[in-house]
Structure 1
Amino acid sequence: MIRSVFVVALLTWSVGAAQAQYLGTGSNPNSHSVSGYTRSNGTYVQPYVATNPNGTQRDNYGTSGNVNPYTGATGHRTPRY
């Protein structure tokens, strides 16, 4: 019984994680972590996850029409290229 519950929970988690990564918004599924850092003006920037560079901004989490699967935030920026 406990093993069955564990298997169902594991499958549910894995399907949820896969759906979170591919929300159908066109977001780049490849990402990397960025460590926190302090800007030259003294402002601290919290660590975050960003899409890997690939020559376009259209599939970045922050671009209009895309969703960040880690935070749920909807992008609002217009791509420059």
Structure 2
Amino acid sequence: MRQLFIAASFFLAASGAQAQYLGGTGSNPSTHTSSGYTRNNGTYVAPYVATNPNGTQRDNFGSSGNHNPYTGQTGHRTPRY
């Protein structure tokens, strides 16, 4: 009986975390860094960390409801898809 309770508790915790991630209220945990570069118009773009592409905009750092742990900012953009 104890093992069943532990398994059920683990399942509920894991499914809640997965639902939060898919619902767009959590940032994508997969990230990549970009080196600084200069655009062809002379504007310098500083190095940054971004979420990896995955077919949705709901889990990007800048999307509303998400938090960027690297800058401390909260997202405010509405995802297009």
Q: Which amino acid aligns with 2:55?
A: G
In 1, Cα distance between the equivalents of 2:57 and 2:66? 11
Q: Which amino acid aligns with 1:78?
A: T
The 5 Å alignment of 1:17-28 reads 25-28=25-28
Q: Which amino acid aligns with 2:47?
A: P
Q: Which residue of 1 aligns with 2:20?
A: none
Runs of 4+ in 1 over 4 A off after TM superposition: none
How much identity, in percent, do the aligned residues show?
A: 82
**TM-score, L = length of structure 2:** 0.66
**Larger-gyration structure (1/2):** 2
Matched, 1:49 2:42: no
> What stretches of structure 2 of length at least 5 have no aligned partner?
1-24
1:33: how far off? 0.3
**TM-score, L = length of structure 1:** 0.66
